[in-house]
């Protein structure tokens, strides 16, 4: 089983650090990346501070991440400074990109035509969104004004997406075909969840450990919801292998062993997926 490519997520924004906003973007991205066979090893939330952003990116690279997706801080205001941090981490200057400026100009023209903004003038604040790290590729934002930004180079990719969830999701889909190479180390995955028939985590811990030791490439996790709210604890079983049928065989074996030890357990549907472009979850 080849190791899956490691990805990290970096959410930027003071509103996440004051509790005003829950970081739903990272969970959404984590789900998408996991479904493509990547292993999201860390999520980090930092302030709108280029030094913090650059430090977090450098640390991610040192920890072996091949991909970092940043969310937030791409807009026109003074506190949108994510690309300053990205540029610093990649040791690139921030330079105006003609293609990005064309995207911004066109989007403001569209928004003005729809009376969403008052004018089409590319003010300094709007122009700011066309300044990207040298060598970066702007990605056309289908929802908002700030282009997404893809920085590739020597095995480390940084994708910067806006913080507004609808824009973030739209731009992720734009970027996904460009991430194929960095995600190419992904494995086939098969996963299911079981009702354990018990509310008592401690009762199933030994069984879970035994099955994990017995079946290679299998990860089993109980999903505690608290005794008060869930009298039927769920168990998630995830199997990895180089091809899908092998992953599904491993999953079936683990589920069989769990069922033998937990007689009232009931398995759910099996989902399997890979990182190939034709089978997103």
- Return the number of the residue (109 or 111) whose C-beta is nearest a copy of itself: 111
From the number of C-beta atoms within 10 Å of its C-beta (0-12, 13-18, 19+), residue 36 rates as buried
By beta-carbon proximity to a copy of itself, the closer residue of 153 and 280 is: 280
Cβ at position 278, least distance to a copy of itself in Å: 21
Q: Which residues have C-beta within 8 Å of that of residue 253, sequence separation ≥ 6?
A: 215, 218
Q: Is residue 274 a contact point for a copy of itself (CB under 8 A)?
A: no
Work out the burial of residue 160: count CB atoms within 10 Å of its CB; fewer than 13 is exposed, 13-18 middle, 19 or more buried: buried
* Residues 97 to 116 in contact with a copy of itself, rule: CB under 8 A: 111, 116
| 202 belongs to the binding site for a copy of itself (CB under 8 A) | yes
Query: Residue 141 — φ and ψ, nearest 5°?
Result: -85, 115
Q: Report the residue from 1, 47, 178, 271 that binds a copy of itself according to the rule CB under 8 A.
A: 47
34 scored as a contact of a copy of itself (CB under 8 A): yes
* Shortest distance, position 49 Cβ to a copy of itself, whole Å: 9
Q: Report the distance separating Cα 225 and Cα 231, nearest Å.
A: 9
With contacts defined by CB under 8 A, name the span among 83-91, 180-188, 203-211, 246-254 that binds a copy of itself. Answer: 203-211
Task: Classify residue 202 as exposed, middle or buried by CB count within 10 Å of its CB (0-12, 13-18, 19+).
Answer: exposed
Provide the minimum distance between the beta carbon of 199 and a copy of itself in the complex, in angstroms, as a whole number: 6
The binding track of 52-71 with respect to a copy of itself, each residue x by CB under 8 A or -, is x------x------------
- d(CA 152, CA 137) in angstroms, rounded, equals 9
Q: Which is nearer to a copy of itself, 30 or 92 (CB)?
A: 30
Contact call for residue 40 and a copy of itself (CB under 8 A): yes
Residue 159 CB contacts under 8 Å (≥ 6 apart), including other chains:
67, 68, 69, 70, 148, 149, 150, 151, 172, 175, 179
How, if at all, do strands 157-161 and 137-139 pair? unpaired
Q: Does 24 bind a copy of itself (CB under 8 A)?
A: yes
Tokens at residue 90, please? 């990649």
Q: Which of residues 107-166 bind a copy of itself (CB under 8 A)?
A: 111, 116-118, 123, 125-126, 128, 143-145, 163-164, 166
Q: Could you say whether residue 77 binds a copy of itself (CB under 8 A)?
A: yes
């Amino acid at each position: 089983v080849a190791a899956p490519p490691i990805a990290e997520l970096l959410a930027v924004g003071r509103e996440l650090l004051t509790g005003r906003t829950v970081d739903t973007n990272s969970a959404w991205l984590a789900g998408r990346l996991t479904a493509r066979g990547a292993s999201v090893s860390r999520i980090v939330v930092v302030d709108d501070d280029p030094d913090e952003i650059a430090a977090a990116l450098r640390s991610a690279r040192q920890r072996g991440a091949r991909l970092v997706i940043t969310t937030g801080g791409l807009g026109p205001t003074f506190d949108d400074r994510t690309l300053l941090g990205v540029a610093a981490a990649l040791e690139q200057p921030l330079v105006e990109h003609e293609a990005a400026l064309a995207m911004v100009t066109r989007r403001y023209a569209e928004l003005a035509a729809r009376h969403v903004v008052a004018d089409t003038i590319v003010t300094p604040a709007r122009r700011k969104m066309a300044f990207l790290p040298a060598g970066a590729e702007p990605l056309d934002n289908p929802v908002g004004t700030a282009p997404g930004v893809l920085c590739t180079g020597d095995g480390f990719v940084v994708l910067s997406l806006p913080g507004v969830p609808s824009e973030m999701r739209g731009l992720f889909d734009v970027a996904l075909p460009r991430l194929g190479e960095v995600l190419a180390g992904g494995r086939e995955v098969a996963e299911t969840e079981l009702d354990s028939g018990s509310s008592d985590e401690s009762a199933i811990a030994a069984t879970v450990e035994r099955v994990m030791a017995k079946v290679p490439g299998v990860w089993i996790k109980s999903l505690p919801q608290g005794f008060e709210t869930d009298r039927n604890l769920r168990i998630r079983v995830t199997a990895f292998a180089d091809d899908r049928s092998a992953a599904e065989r491993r999953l079936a074996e683990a589920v069989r062993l769990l069922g033998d030890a937990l007689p009232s357990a009931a398995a759910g549907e099996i989902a399997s997926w890979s990182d190939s472009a034709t089978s997103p979850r």
